[in-house]
Amino acid sequence: MTSQVATVFLVDDDAGVLKALTILLKVSGYDVRAFLSAEAFLVEHDPGLPGCAIFDVSMPELDGLELLAALREKELDRPVIFITGVGDIPTSVQAMKAGAIDFITKPLDNQQLLAAIELAVERDGEARKNHDDLKLIDSRFATLTRRELEVLRHVIAGKMNKQIAYELGTVLNTIKVHRGRMMRKLGVTSVAELVRVAQQAGVQPVAGNRKVQRD
């Protein structure tokens, strides 16, 4: 995280302001992607880049608040700072409720802006870290075969190998092979560990002593 330079996505329909902020933020050590309209940003936005976004509130077509809503609809929780020429209270309240990091009135105070960006980038980093862990687990789970996943669900339900072999209509040795391979793929060495990652990945154990369908 720290090794990568944070990117600021800047959206303002005023070319003069856009250019000035771009220079200021670049000089301040950020990577800047500048957009003259909300639409252009939505097309070009790369969610994979760590960093934050600064939206001008008052823009033709999609305004800043609408843009934030559009972003959230795509289930992207990029931290956003709003800037505005006319800082009326209802708009700022609306913005903060929508989850903005800050709402700054033009002309922008340098300290306030940079502080807000710093905060936003930090938030983005944290969110991104959580997300990365999850993604790792998810990717490991994705490598399991259907049979291995079945075995896993039986294991975390606290069943013995013999029991599992019976319920899945196979022999003990086969279950042992599946179980060993599954543990290896998920990078766990104990049942306790297995239970934790399964929980993180949202994998549910098989229910009680229900008869297992034969395939």
Partner 1 sequence: MMLKSPGRATYCRHEWVARASGLLLALGTLLLSCPAAAEDRQQRILLLEGLTATQPAGLRTLEGFKARLTEKGVKNIEVFIDFLELGRFPSQAHRRRTAQYLSEKFAEKPIDVVIPISRGALEFVMQYRDILAPKVPVVFCCTAASAASALGLPRDVVGVVNRHDWSKTLDLAERLQPNAHKLAVISGASDYDREWLEDLRRELALRIDRYEVRYLTGLTYDRFAREVAELPRDTIVLLAPVFTDGSGKSRPPPETAAEIAQASAAPAYAPIDTFFGAGIVGGFMDSYEAHGVAVADIVLKVLSGSDPSILPQQSTPLHTFRIDERQLERWGLSANDLPPDSTVLFKTPTLWEQHRNAVLGIAAAFGLQSIVVGVLIAQVRRRKAAEASLRESEERLAFAAASANVGIWRLDVSTGNFWITDHGRLMLGLRSEPVTMKSLLDVVHPDDRRSLAEAMSLATRRGAFIGGEFRVVDGEENTRWFVARGHAIADGGGPARISGIFADITDRKSAESEVEQQRREVSHLMRVSVLGELSGAIAHELNQPLTAILAYAQAARRLLGGANPELGQIAGVLDDIVHEDNRASEVIRRLHGLLRKGESKVEAISLNDLIESTLKLLRSEVIGRGVKLKVVLEPDLPGVSSDPVQLQQVLLNLLVNAMDAMNTTALADRVLAIRTRSIDDQFAEITIADRGHGLTDAQRAQIFKPFFTTKDQGLGLGLSICAKIVKASGGKLRIESNADGGVTASLMLPANVEAETVS
> Smaller CB distance to partner 1: residue 39 or 63?
63
Residue 14 lies near partner 1 (rule: CB under 8 A): yes
Binding mask 75-114 for partner 1 (x = CB under 8 A): ----------xx-------------------xxx-x----
Q: Which of 3, 27, 97, 139 binds partner 1 (CB under 8 A)?
A: 27
Q: To the nearest whole angstrom, how small is the minimum distance from the Cβ of residue 110 to partner 1?
A: 4
> Smaller CB distance to partner 1: residue 2 or 111?
111
Helix (H, G, I), strand (E, B) or coil at 21: helix
Helix/strand/coil (H, E, C) string of 91-130?
A: HHHHHHHCCCCEEEECCCCHHHHHHHHHHHHHHHHHHHHH
Residue 37 lies near partner 1 (rule: CB under 8 A): no
Nearest alpha carbon to residue 61 among 88, 37, 80, 85: 37
Residue 79 · residue 47 · CB < 8 Å: no
Q: To the nearest whole angstrom, how small is the minimum distance from the Cβ of residue 45 to partner 1?
A: 22
> Smaller CB distance to partner 1: residue 20 or 212?
20
Residue 70 lies near partner 1 (rule: CB under 8 A): no
Q: Of 117-156, which residues contact partner 1 (CB under 8 A)? A: none
Rg over CA atoms, the chain: 25
Kindly give, in sequence order, each residue whose CB lies less than 8 Å from that of residue 181, ignoring residues fewer than 6 positions away.
148
Q: How far apart are CA 134 and CA 201, in angstroms?
A: 7
Contact residues for partner 1, defined by CB under 8 A? 13-14, 16-17, 19-21, 23-24, 27-28, 58-61, 63, 85-86, 106-108, 110
